[in-house]
């Protein structure tokens, strides 16, 4: 029974990949909308993520693109011994390339943003704010012509306003997964 289930899952995954490969053209649409979940590796906190991306530069000869993405995150944030609720607005500058068969999109990015946070002792719009910046890599796996499942990993630093930058306290590696729709 276990072997049958594994074989069926393998056939389904292979079929989805081949279907996406046949449908996907060599170029991507200029815009995308994505949503997913993020896990902060150091604390185990889970965030929800929405992003909207658009094409800035396209180089067909060298097969790479540059995109910009505006991202909204929200969730639980643990820092300096305190737990906060956080909403963050970030911007990503993405350099990407599409695989030759059109099934994968590989990318790396630079991210920066600002966030508001609050808990029972602090309202959301009171100071201090939080700033974030980071570097990351990711991959999109196309399951249909304009839809992908994505995975990315960010070496993210979250810094509270008016606090000394401490490497260990600020480092928040983030693993993110979700879906994107290109249009």
The CATH number of whichever domain residue 144 belongs to comes to: 2.40.160.20
Q: Which residues lie below 8 Å from residue 99, measured CB to CB, with a gap of 6+? A: 105, 106
Four-residue CA torsion sign, 46, 36, 155, 130:
negative
**Which residues are CB-neighbours of 51 under 8 A, at least 6 positions away?**
32, 33, 34, 35, 69, 70, 71, 72, 92
36-50, 61-75, 105-119, 163-177: range with lowest mean pLDDT: 163-177
How many structural domains are present in the chain? Answer: 1
Over residues 122-156, the pLDDT tens digits come to: 888 888 788 889 999 999 999 998 999 999 999 98
User: Which structural domain, as residue segments, surrounds residue 85?
Assistant: 2-182
Coil vs helix vs strand at 29: coil
């Amino acid at each position: 029974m276990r072997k049958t289930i594994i074989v069926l899952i393998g056939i389904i995954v292979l079929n989805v990949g081949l279907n996406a490969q046949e449908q996907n053209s060599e170029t991507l649409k200029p815009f995308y909308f994505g949503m997913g979940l993020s896990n902060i590796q150091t604390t185990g906190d889970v965030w929800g993520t929405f992003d909207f991306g658009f094409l800035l530069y396209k180089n067909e000869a060298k097969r790479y693109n540059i995109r910009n993405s505006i991202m909204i995150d929200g969730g639980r944030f643990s820092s300096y011994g305190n737990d906060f609720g956080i909403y963050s607005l970030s911007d990503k500058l993405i350099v990407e390339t599409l695989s030759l068969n059109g099934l994968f999109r590989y990318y790396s990015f630079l991210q920066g943003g600002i966030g508001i946070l609050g808990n029972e002792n602090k309202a959301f719009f009171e100071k201090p704010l939080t700033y974030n910046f980071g570097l990351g890599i990711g991959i999109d796996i196309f399951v249909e012509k304009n839809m992908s499942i994505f995975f990315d990993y960010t070496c993210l630093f979250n810094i509270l306003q008016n606090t000394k930058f401490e490497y260990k306290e600020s480092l928040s590696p983030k693993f993110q997964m979700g879906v994107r729709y290109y249009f």
